[in-house]
Amino acid sequence: VRTLDPPVAVAAARDGDRRALARLISAVEGRGDSARQIGRLLVPFTGHAHVVGITGAPGVGKSTTTSALIDGWRKQGRTVGVIAVDPSSPFTGGALLGDRVRMSDHSTDEGTFIRSMAARGQLGGLAAATPAAVRVLDACGFDLVVVETVGVGQSEIDIVRCADTVLILQAPGMGDRVQTAKAGLLEIGDVFAVNKSDRPGAAATNRELKSMVDSRPMAAGDWRPPVVAIVAVEATGIAELAEALEAHREFSLASGSLTARRLDRARSEILGLAAGGFQEAVSERAQLLAHLSEQVLAGRLDPDDAAHQVLTDVGVRTR
């Protein structure tokens, strides 16, 4: 394996070299030494892409919808990067392979880049890796960056939060309504779509979803999330959906909520990384911790004073 030369790889990727782009994403995912250097080189070029998060229950049609949206965006001459995240999978298998096949008509297109990401066993890793990968695509000039993830738990919600616009998909069928509410998806959606509107019960699902969205607590001047009916397999309603996503982008730009959201995101990303670094620093002090624990057990040291000693050793100043 050739070692990655960050400045060379960054220049190449920004110049359209797909292999360099793929290697940059792998590097930032791995969080190795070069990851920080890559981040530093790329950050001046970030902030231009419209980051769209797509989530919903397994099989609801996320990949089909993404693919149909890509078709529309490409016809407008816009470039699209996709990160398909599967937090439940320890490796890139099953569903993601299906995604690849379904999106394969885009794989030869210069203006589209699709990347799969799986958990590979590291807890909390994806939540850090996804925004880093999004930044790589953003800095490499993609007009849109789509993050697709299965909406079943808190980690998916954390992942999809790195988006400027969150699209929640539903399909007609029992239990979906409850699932959406329970998973906390209702709160985080900026745009909702009822896919498989060719199926029985679609109108009812649409009505229910609308009333749920409308009963969300709202202040004057807030964005009112639209509910769009689509049939992704036929690309029906996809143009309206793309318009709704764009309208949310324009609204959040004009109202300042995009800046607020991005500030919030940067803040929690910094905090997450700092907390990770702190934990690493503490775990490197196993001997000190063992020693302090014994002191506490022997009644010679108060746990609060012990914690103070750890903080001092790590270099955190406390009162």
Residues of this chain that interact with ligand GTP (CB under 6 A) are 56, 58-64, 95, 98-99, 150, 195-196, 198-199, 231-233
Residue in the shown chain whose Cβ atom is closest to Mg ion = 63
Shortest distance in whole angstroms from residue 193 CB to ligand GTP: 10
Minimum CB–partner distance for residue 89 and ligand GTP (Å): 10
Q: How far is the CB of 160 from ligand GTP (least distance, A)?
A: 13
Q: Which residues bind Mg ion (CB under 5 A)?
A: 62-63, 99
Residue 150 near which of Mg ion, ligand GTP, none (CB within 5-8 Å, type-dependent): ligand GTP
Return the one option of Mg ion, ligand GTP, none that residue 138 interacts with (CB less than 5 to 8 A, by type). Answer: none
User: What is the identity of the amino acid at 240?
Assistant: E
C-alpha–C-alpha distance, residues 223 and 247, integer Å:
10
80: left (phi over 0), alpha (psi -120 to 50) or beta: beta
Least CB distance from residue 257 to Mg ion, whole Å?
Answer: 28
Nearest approach, Cβ of 179 to Mg ion (angstroms)?
17
Closest approach of ligand GTP to the CB of residue 174, in Å:
16
Residue 231 interacting entry, from ligand GTP, Mg ion, none, C-beta within 5 to 8 Å by type: ligand GTP
Q: Which is nearer to ligand GTP, 47 or 98 (CB)?
A: 98
Q: Least distance in Å: CB of 315 to Mg ion?
A: 44
- Residue 300 binds which of Mg ion, ligand GTP, none (CB < 5-8 A, kind-dependent): none
Task: Report the partner that residue 7 touches, choosing among ligand GTP, Mg ion, none (CB closer than 5 to 8 A by kind).
Answer: none
How many whole angstroms from its chain centre is CA 268? 13
**Which of Mg ion, ligand GTP, none sits in contact with 61, Cβ below 5 to 8 A by type?**
ligand GTP
Closest approach of Cβ 102 to Mg ion, in Å? Answer: 8
Nearer to Mg ion, 55 or 252 (CB): 55
Name the residue nearer to ligand GTP (CB basis): 27 or 60. 60
Measuring CA to CA, how many Å separate 112 from each of 106, 151, 300? 6, 24, 63
Q: What does 60 interact with, of ligand GTP, Mg ion, none (CB < 5 to 8 A by kind)?
A: ligand GTP
Nearer to Mg ion, 62 or 106 (CB): 62
Using CB distances below 5 to 8 A depending on partner kind, what does residue 14 bind out of Mg ion, ligand GTP, none? none
Q: Quick one: CA torsion of 82, 168, 46, 4, rounded to 10 degrees?
A: -40
Closer CB to ligand GTP, 16 or 98, in the complex: 98
Closest to ligand GTP by CB, 79 vs 195, is 195
